[in-house]
Structure 1
Amino acid sequence: MKPGVTPGSSVDEQAAAAQRFLEAERASRAAATVTTAPRPEHKEWPALPVRSRPKPPSALLSIRKPVTAKARLTLLVLSFAIPLFAWVVLSATQVVPETFLPGPVATFQAGLEMAQNGQLLTDLWATVQRILTGFGLAVLVSVPIGIVMGTFAAGNALFEPFLSMMRYLPASAFIPLMMIWLGVGEEPKIAVLFLGTVFFNTFMTADVVRSVPRQLINVSYTLGARRNEILRKVIIPHSVPGIIDAVRVNIAAAWNLVVVAEVVVSTTGLGRRIMQSQRFLETDQIFAILILIGICGVIIDVALRLLRNRVGRWVA
């Protein structure tokens, strides 16, 4: 029963009471509407400017887009032609005296002279032998340890703390100790090469092994493979290309270290030849030796890339 309506009221009285009730309801709703804060209207975003369709980017500037063989060859030539041109200009204009910056012709003649009298090849072979021995031993030690560290958490907990400390010690600081312990023969130079590369190659190998997808290991377990089978048939094959890339990076450090070791304690080698040329200001010979080291590095790098692409064709 609505308010204001009593039992026994006439029909007119009931209709009037209902009308008053409706009017009171409308008034209360109107008051509520007035007192409620109105919602702020949404601002309309300005229309976007009319833009022309962007031009397709050049293949040379596209992110991770392969370039054509012709463009790659052109860039390869420019990478050597631009520094050579700058070298020719600096030597021709005598901005730097020839005593300190010999020209390309003088450098080539000095290298040809050292090659003809046998000095260059003798020193090159002595340096290469030391790198093959010292860095080869580092690879033989670092790769198995890196595989263990990257595969087993226990192996990482065992080797990682000590190796992390050792990798921060400069290998050249061990040269006096190596001379005291091993004498002045080939042993200290090989030991310096070993110490300067083994720790970094170990950690890089471990990172490569850790990057093996966990899904491959889980699928192998699901198919019934044992632990040693997963290690031999899944983890190691998948890691081989990355391990070769780690060797590519660290062999450059081996070249740097062998020159330092030969400068300090050696009677042969490219480092020793650089030191002797420095004493007599024979900068043309120094430049010739540096160019020879760079050429050897490029040859080694290309050979390792070809090896990686051949043995790692199954890795996407």
Structure 2
Amino acid sequence: MDQILSVKEKESSESASYRLLDLRSDIPSRIYWSAGGLFFIFIFILWLFLTSLKIVSPLFLPGPEAVWDEFLRQLHEGILLQDASASLYRIMLGWIISTIIAVPIGILMGNFKLFEGMLEPFIDLIRYMPAVAFVPLTILWAGVGNSQKILILFIGTFFQEVLMIMDNVKSVPRELIEVSSTFGLSRFEILRDVILRYAMPGIWDTFRITLGWAWTYLVVAELVAASSGLGYRIMKAQRFLQTESIILGILMIGLMGLITDMIFKFTYRKLFRWLDGKG
């Protein structure tokens, strides 16, 4: 009897481990989050190991304690909150303006070949141009204030976003549109009730991805004539070889970007529960 139970437990264990590595199979949420947490712990231990044993010079990679001390200093002096709020304002405003314009244009390009043929070549041309190359022009166009920084974030985000929204709209099966037309729905009703409802989960994912891209352009946006912001603080620290301040700025950008990403993932699950059969 004991042998039979032992064999069953072994088979159950092998089956569970197989499911963890099965293609696209669901796993318990505790395992999902534990895997992510353990990987963060592994990176932290590796960082601590390299710096504690002086394998890497503190000039190039300061230890966690040095970065923590810099965090406390900037927090106490109010620098960190000022920089984070300035960067968050620029990121959100640049991304929101980009999205407000990209959504209707992407929908038009995804549904009407005329707009796709007219706009896609120009958008393709601009999207391959690096955003940093526009810094001198944006200074001429918008000065050196927040407008210039928001314009850089817009340039870095908009042209990619509009094409992704176009592809989201194109993912709607043509058969679904034809059936809707057969049932007597008007063109506007098909667009509103069929195409947009079908494409909206993909469009929401596009919002999440493009907001992540906006964070990557932050240092470029704050490269010139900034007096606050996480990107500005990183560039200033570079001039004085303050590596702990550079790493703190990078970590803060990554953390704030991760928080916005998780917010989008959470709202995705709430808004589109019907995708999992829960709505």
Instruction: Report the TM-score, using the length of structure 2 for normalisation.
Output: 0.90
User: Which of 80, 87, 90 is the equivalent residue of 1:130?
Assistant: 90
Q: Which residue of 2 aligns with 1:257?
A: 217
Structure with larger Rg: 1
* Residues 111 and 289 in structure 1, CA contact (< 8 A), matched pair in contact too: no
1:162 is matched with which residue: 88, 110, 122?
Answer: 122
Partner residue of 1:193 out of 150, 153, 178? 153
Q: 1:227 aligns with which of 176, 187, 191?
A: 187
Amino acid across the alignment from 2:207: V
Q: Once the two structures are superposed, what CA deviation does each residue of 1:1-44 show, in whole Å capped at 9, x if it has no partner?
A: xxxxxxxxxxxxxxxxxxxxxxxxxxxxxxxxxxxxxxxxxxxx
Calculate the TM-score normalised by the size of structure 1: 0.80
Maintained 8 Å contact 1:208/1:242: yes
Contact 1:238 1:315 in 2 (8 A): no
Match of 1:291 among 241, 251, 268: 251
Contact 1:212 1:238 in 2 (8 A): yes
Q: Which digits, 9 at most, give the CA deviation of each residue in 1:244-287, with x for residues without a partner? A: 11111111221121211212231111111111212222111111
Which residue of 139, 142, 162 corresponds with 1:182? 142
Across the aligned residues of Structure 1 and Structure 2, the Cα RMSD in angstroms comes to 1.6
Regions of 4+ moved over 4 Å: none
Deviation string 1:187-240 (CA, Å, 9 cap, x unpaired) is: 111111111110000010011111112232122112111110000111112212
Moved more, 305-314 or 203-212: 305-314
Q: Distance in 2 between the 1:274 and 1:167 partners?
A: 26
Q: Quote how far apart the aligned CAs of 1:315 are.
A: 4.1
Which amino acid in the other structure matches residue 256 of structure 1? T
Q: In structure 1, what residue type is equivalent to 2:165?
A: T
What runs of 5+ residues in structure 1 fail to find an aligned partner?
Answer: 1-54
**CA distance in structure 2 between the aligned counterparts of 1:203 and 1:87, rounded to whole angstroms:** 39
For the residues of structure 1 that align with 2:202 and 2:262, how far apart are their CA atoms?
Answer: 15
Query: Which residue of structure 2 aligns with residue 268 of structure 1?
Result: 228
Q: Tell me the equivalent position of 1:115.
A: 75
Please give the alpha-carbon distance, in whole angstroms, between the structure 2 residues aligned to 1:235 and 1:211: 9
Find the partner of 1:69 among 4, 22, 29: 29
2:11 is matched with none
Residues 144 and 224 in structure 2, CA contact (< 8 A), matched pair in contact too: no
Contact 1:87 1:103 in 2 (8 A): yes
More helix by percentage:
2
The DSSP-based 3-state class of the residue aligned with 2:129 is coil
Quote the Cα distance in structure 2 between the aligned partners of 1:117 and 1:150: 50
Question: Which consecutive residues of structure 2, in runs of 5 or more, have no partner in the other structure?
Answer: 1-13
